[in-house]
Chain A
């Protein structure tokens, strides 16, 4: 389609009084060939909008609005079917630079050129058209999975519910009572699991497969082809999204030898205690006599660097429940709870208080050192009193270890490394690679056969673990955002949770699954680029099979064929553009975001010659954090150097180093890259973007050396959105530094 670009410059918010708009208009129409350029006193008002609408009616199909930041007034400048580019003359120009100044005017002119070029080169994204199946697969039939299944079914979605055991219910079906989840939070409650199972099994929309595991899942969200295995037979189904609710297993108590497990007959775990409670009486395993003096050892394995460093979250409340039930069964029994901290959050404090009121339950803060048998399988618990100092010895006829929760998850990335290494070993070619592979096979051999989802993803067959094998999200604000689109972990596999929290989590995961199939069916992206219709397109005839895109995609979007050519899966994609940044051959593009578009924007900047002594710096800003930070600096009227031109990027990881090379060879004197925090506590919304940019900047340094340019000409910064006051400082320091280094010798070539 022929582009008819119409440019509008707002006079409001100091723009009209700080800049020569007539000169800008000349830049737009004469230099950049825009079809028209108009200015208006207040574009965001009704009259301004009408002005634009009229031109659109008259055939303008790409609109450049030069005024405030695109973060403001999006509704005023959205025109159905018409491409809109916003040029930020307010926050990034007039509110952060001297009015009616030559450099400010040059800055505005460059931003206008860049905006017009973008409008000319970019195209309105058209959504992909894929047949989207909206069935939800739920893996795991415990409380979490059943909640997800029943909820999705209740909203009108077909559900396939897979459980590896012969019946639904999970752990909850084995427990007689749970600690209370509702007001008044005082007494153990029965578990309404039978009703829930009946509900799941009775639903017309839920197909239940018990005694079943997942043999393979291929495809992508909206088009997952699932192969189920049950009793030696396989069955196939197609689903759109997946909830993984595979739950937990108790920590292996045989590793807690010092606490007597396996060594002393009357030391049991809290799970074994549940079995006793379900049987209606609490007996010593050694002789079947009633247990009257019960010691509960908290954090048995949890909060322990040697075992599980994390807190298992529920054991305090479970112990309180078990102590109360033991007392209910036999009011002459006594319960001693040896704890590090009693963790009964929120209203569960009432339950703790209830136990404290019980004269037969004693709480002692202590570090248990060991458990020994005395005569007749009686037990002696030795502990250090952490409050008073000194040793405590406690006689007991039963010891209950509050063992923690371990996720029933598979380490997807570990499995992938294991499979890759095994392939190398099997190939058997000599060399250092083989030795390394053998080591990896040895190190990760325990993962063999642990896969659960069996995804056909190049980056591994299961969700990547975040920490301690929990496939949790690293985002506090977006706790369902993991690294595989359309696959959501919920309940105890994701984090230690109580049954109520697990159910709430199952409901949330069901919603996310529904949301993903609904958005994908419109060709739109899920979070964080919600609603984005653009998607990466690959010119595969130029691909050199370098595999950078398949390796670097944080979401496992791309598979590879045998040669290593990427196989795109549009619905797995989050549209961050990291693949585009990774590709040395520049074969990956979005309709509205490509190496070519950004390169053209860079080329549109006017570079003054060496003798004008006006350096030109180029900045790439993460559009989620650094860009809003610069907006805020503008709102606060904090000034920054007029020598820099910024381009917002979807993620710093989408910056292709060819842009940097282009800019330097065009005569830019310095390049500033501002992204989000990387490392363990990364803040990058695309997981690895700024980390990947750090790696790529090594290559950039080599490039600079080749060009005999100073390393300092390219600077990478990590900046949280709140550091808006620091960003202008960074810019100004960088500008000063570049002035000291001197002009880029390639200027004018």
Chain B
């Protein structure tokens, strides 16, 4: 039987909730773990969320504990801004090449923020879905880990500007940083590469990109977040006005042969939750949810049942076909067809939230000996050609956070098997 000593080393690809959980759970059971994340911070998509359903609690509460478990655990090595380039070998003995992109800021950074004051360049802040900007040197969000600033190399003029270099009292800015290749030897690789939101502009007729007041569910999370672009106030992007009537459009891209054939699994609860955000700020707002089926499994049904008690929330079974904008006011007209009665429903609203689905983020350009197996939706399958390559969380199935964490814990169990007894 294994004892307290280290039992082996695994690589976890993806530092979202699934990857973080797999890394921590495996390490606390005795593994050494390298955690690789492409963003400059850990937390992935959950870091962008305002609250979780059904408790309406903030993700950063759990992240804080998880990050403490990572910070104080010498068995976990975190590589942010990093991607897997190559994997070769077989279960129990994989050789992995990871490339770490230059951060422009080294770990002497104390997050004091002196660099930001002098930086002359602005960039669109993708963490906030482009709804605000940051300087070229920035901290991705207030509670980001590592708490180290990062320079967006795509907009920073580099040493041609260099104003941040002398502004930093700690010698932490390094504009000459080069990409670094890191070679690892591990016994298993957990792919927890998560999801991206479906590109809503591909959905014809819904007007995303053309009408300012048509937003995605991820944008709604940022609007509702206290550290988001509006300081937590839900308002119309076009004119900053409050919300009297809002429509949520379910299955925006999901369960649709022309877009995503799968059900994205979490959007029903996501919209019901966002309806609560709206209700908290606008007690009288009219809320409509256009849906095909409301999918609230297990005890989550309670949340759905409680939402149905909201008298100003209507559930309309029907697929939205078209959204048009009144250019003068920015108001929107939502046209839906009831698939069974073939009757048309038309509503005038101030804001439309598209419940865009989850697209598996994939493994990028990684070159993997023997390859990885994906299903027709692009999710990794549960059984991979090489036994030590394991998929976890939304890389495998579109599921909510609690299921991701359970799955990641189970996958950590399987990773232990690759490490031998």
List residues of chain A with CB under 8 Å of any chain B CB: 12-14, 42, 44-45, 68, 71-75, 134, 151, 154-158, 181-185, 303, 309-313, 341-350, 353, 365, 387-388, 467-468, 470, 472-480, 495-496, 500-501, 503-508, 510-512, 514-515, 518-519, 521-522, 526-528, 530-531, 624-625, 628, 632, 635-636, 676-677, 681, 683, 685, 720-725
Contacts and interface: CB of A to CB of B under 8 A. Distances in A.
Given A13-B112, A182-B382, A636-B142, A504 B298 contact: no
Contact of A515 (B29, B66, B261): B29
B226 A725 contact: yes
B107 to A, nearest CB: 9
Given A349-B255, A467-B299, A476-B52, A505 B406 contact: yes
5 contacts: A68-B110, A310-B299, A477-B405, A515-B25, A721-B60
Contact of B297 (A42, A151, A345, A632): A345
Contact of B61 (A506, A632, A681, A721): A721
> Which 6 A-B residue pairings sit nearest by Cβ, starting from the closest?
A477-B62, A507-B410, A156-B421, A508-B409, A183-B375, A341-B293
Nearest to B338: A387
B163 interface: no
A496 B297 contact: yes
Interface string B37-62: 00000000000001010111111111
B381 interface: yes
Contact of A518 (B30, B56, B68): B30
A477 B263 contact: no
A521 to B, nearest CB: 6
B64 A347 contact: no
B64 A480 contact: no
B398 A521 contact: no
A242 B398 CA distance: 30
Contact of A151 (B55, B402, B414): B414
B118 to A, nearest CB: 16
A504 B50 CA distance: 28
A346 B399 contact: yes
A185 B375 CA distance: 10
Nearest to B66: A477
Most buried by A among B17, B62, B73: B62
Contact of A155 (B55, B64, B397, B416): B416
A155 B301 contact: no
Given A341-B294, A476-B62, A309 B302 contact: yes
Contacts of B263: 344-346, 348-349
A345 B65 CA distance: 30
Given A341-B295, A722-B58, A722-B61, 14 more contacts: A156-B1, A310-B302, A343-B296, A365-B340, A470-B299, A476-B55, A476-B62, A478-B405, A507-B413, A511-B25, A514-B413, A518-B29, A528-B65, A530-B73
B375 to A, nearest CB: 4
B385 to A, nearest CB: 14
Contacts of A506: 410
Contacts of B231: 725
Interface in B376-421: 376-377, 379, 381-383, 397-403, 405-414, 416-417, 421
B71 A74 contact: yes
A311 B55 contact: no
A508 B61 contact: no
A157 B1 contact: yes
Interface of chain B, main secondary structure: loop
Nearest to B415: A511
Given A74-B71, A720-B58, A349 B262 contact: yes
Interface string B1-33: 111100000000000010000000110111000
B328 interface: no
Interface string B58-86: 11111111101101111000000000000
B375 A311 contact: no
A502 B407 CA distance: 10
Contacts of A625: 61, 64
B203 to A, nearest CB: 17
Nearest to A14: B112
A504 B71 contact: no
Contacts of A636: 142
Given A514-B416, A722-B226, A74 B72 contact: yes
Given A42-B170, A45-B108, A476-B401, A521 B4 contact: yes
A628 B397 contact: no
Interface string B225-256: 11100010000000000000000000000010
Given A505-B406, A511-B25, A478 B298 contact: no
A74 to B, nearest CB: 5
B99 to A, nearest CB: 24
Contacts of B399: 345-346
Contact of A345 (B226, B265, B383): B265
Nearest to A680: B55
Contacts of A348: 263
B182 interface: no
Given A387-B340, A531-B73, A722-B226, A313 B298 contact: yes
A388 B342 CA distance: 10
A81 B251 CA distance: 56
Nearest to B67: A71
Given A13-B110, A504-B407, A184 B414 contact: no
Contact of B170 (A12, A341, A512): A12
B255 A495 contact: no
A156 B341 CA distance: 60
B371 interface: no
Nearest to A637: B113
B61 A472 contact: no
Nearest to B375: A183
A504 B410 contact: yes
A723 B58 CA distance: 10
A722 B64 CA distance: 11
A134 B2 CA distance: 10
A346 B404 CA distance: 13
B170 A496 contact: no
A157 B403 CA distance: 26
B142 A724 contact: yes
A624 B71 contact: no
Given A343-B295, A495-B299, A683 B414 contact: no
A505 B407 CA distance: 7
Given A182-B382, A508-B406, A515-B25, A478 B62 contact: yes
Interface in B261-310: 261-265, 293-302, 305
Given A309-B301, A722-B60, A347 B2 contact: no
Contacts of B28: 515, 518-519, 526-527, 530
B2 to A, nearest CB: 5
A526 B69 CA distance: 11
Contacts of B298: 310-313, 495-496
Given A72-B111, A74-B71, A519-B28, A479 B382 contact: no
A475 B54 CA distance: 10
Given A155-B421, A348-B263, A504-B407, A476 B398 contact: no
Given A182-B383, A501-B403, A508 B299 contact: no
A511 B56 contact: no
B413 A510 contact: yes
B319 interface: no
B293 A683 contact: no
Contacts of A624: 61, 64-65
A635 B383 contact: no
Contact of A632 (B57, B143, B405): B143
Most buried by A among B111, B170, B406, B416: B406
Most buried by B among A45, A311, A387, A478: A311
Contacts of A721: 58, 60-61, 64, 143
B169 interface: yes
A723 B226 contact: yes
A65 to B, nearest CB: 14
